[in-house]
Amino acid sequence: MGFAKGSTYPTSFQKKSRKGIATPKAELDKIKRRLKEAEQASLERAMKKARATKSSGNVFADIGLPNAAEHSIKADLVLRIAARIKSKGLTQAKAASLLGLAQPDVSKLLRGHFAGYTYERLFGYLNALGERVSIEVSEAKTKKDARLELEMTD
């Protein structure tokens, strides 16, 4: 929206001096000091509100997801797949071809979207990338000790 030629408009829209009135240094220093004080007070308030909770070691359990151990193991497998792709210098497109996936699916997998992928499928991807996968089943001393664990070696 513009003003028609020759029309008048309020003085608040008129061009002001280029120099203006300089703010005294003492006032600028006071403003900077007050800003620092306000930032410090804000930080202190935030720190008082922040609470730390000790992790169980499984982020999926910490946020209350069901089957947390399964999610954690799948995440570790996907991290290993990503590391193997990187170490081989593969693009996502080449990795997709090797794994029998579409490139967008490789991208989703590497960004942590692994819901719906079975262990068997993830093991197959590791095999396709040249990893040997072995599964060991052993007796637990007590029912409490019975659990699913993943051990990876280099």
Closest by CA position to 100, among listed 112, 113, 109 = 109
Q: How many CB atoms lie under 10 A from the CB of residue 66?
A: 8
What domains lie within the chain, and their CATH numbers? 67-154 (1.10.260.40)
Record the tokens describing residue 92, joined without a space: 């996502």
pLDDT by 10s per residue, the chain, length 154: 555 555 555 555 555 556 667 777 888 888 888 888 888 888 888 777 777 778 888 888 888 888 888 999 999 999 999 999 999 999 999 999 999 999 999 999 999 999 899 999 999 999 999 999 988 888 889 988 888 777 877 7
Q: What is the pTM of this model?
A: 0.62
